[in-house]
Structure 1
Amino acid sequence: MKKIFYFVFLSSLIACNNKTEDKKEKDIIKKEEPFQLYQMSEMAAFMENMYVDHQRIKGEIQAGKKVDSLHYDLSKLFYARMTDSTDRDAEYERKAKLYVEYEENLIGDSLQQKENYNKAINMCISCHQIKCTGPIPRIKKLLIR
């Protein structure tokens, strides 16, 4: 009789313990944030396009070809929505204008393409050193050595 009593008692303890663990797991699951997909800002997407095009341009310059066009609109630098809107300040505007100048020189001056290309890439790096440092190692890979 005592054995049956102990068996029933232990079984009920185990059953109660499992229920509290299940409840804790459910509470943890409820508290977790739902998965949110990262969406790039308009500027981040634009800069991704610029990066891809600069890979093309770098290859053309290294192959000795004349670069005669850009596959993106430089004016987007001045109006595309940024991830952090406070990043669009006087310093950003100044660097963006210089960058546009270097890019236009890249297309216009076939004798100085490598130099103008590297100036444009260095301007990207210089701006990112102030605003958003994450992509700098990736941008440095675009430089022509």
Structure 2
Amino acid sequence: MKAKSLITLLLLLILMACKNKQTVEPNKPTPLVEEKEPMQMYQMSEMAAYMEQMYAAHQQMKQQILDGEEITKLSFDLENLHSAAFTDPKDYDAFFKSWANRFKQYEIQMIENPEQAQHYYNQAIQACISCHEVKCAGPLPRIKKLIIKP
């Protein structure tokens, strides 16, 4: 009986030892990192690029207002709010158009009423905040920093 058990055990060990093993070919180095698909570069939409341009312009306008300088013109075209292409065309809806039109009105008022530039500037920034709270919250912390505090 002991001999049968010993033979069975020996056969099991031999079978397990003969199991297929993966061998590394000596000429092919084992990669240290898994190969992945190449990264796709983020392509900013026309609207995103336009909003970045407006953000930079409003940083300058904020400083001008704080320095007591008059803002006589905008460095960007307000009509691009209605012509720049969105990442998702569905985002150009009635909600966006409504806030974009308010923003345009405040920007025009800021130029036409230099004595109330800070008020209209803040109203324009608040229009951006109100729209971004619903549409695209990502840039909200940056936009909120544009507000001129009394």
Could you state the TM-score of these two structures normalised by the residue count of structure 1? 0.81
1:63 to 64, 67, 70: 67
1:6 aligned residue: none
1:18 and 2:24 aligned:
yes
Residue 37 of structure 2 is aligned with which of 33, 36, 52?
A: 33
Q: How far 1:16 moved relative to its partner?
A: 5.0
Q: Which residue of 2 aligns with 1:52?
A: 56
Residue ranges of structure 1 left out of the alignment (5+ in a row): 1-14
After TM superposition, the runs of 4+ consecutive aligned structure 1 residues lying more than 6 A away are none
Matches within 5 A, 1:1-145: 17-19=23-25, 25=31, 28-29=34-35, 32-145=36-149
Amino acid at match of 2:74: L
What's the TM-score, normalizing by structure 2? 0.79
Structure 1 equivalent of residue 17 of structure 2: none
The CA distance in 1 between the partners of 2:76 and 2:33, in whole Å, is: 49
Q: Which has the larger radius of gyration?
A: 2
- Structure 2 residue runs of 5 or longer lacking an equivalent are 1-20
SS in structure 1 opposite 2:23?
helix
Structure 2: distance between partners of 1:121 and 1:128: 11
Shift of 1:93: 0.6
The secondary structure found in structure 1 opposite 2:49 is: helix
SS of the equivalent of 1:70 reads coil
Secondary structure of 1:18's match? coil
1:38-90: per-residue Cα shift (whole Å, max 9, x none)?
A: 11000000001000100110000000111111100000000100011111111
Q: Give me the whole-angstrom Cα distance separating, in 2, the residues matched to 1:127 and 1:94.
A: 9
What is the aligned residue count?
Answer: 127
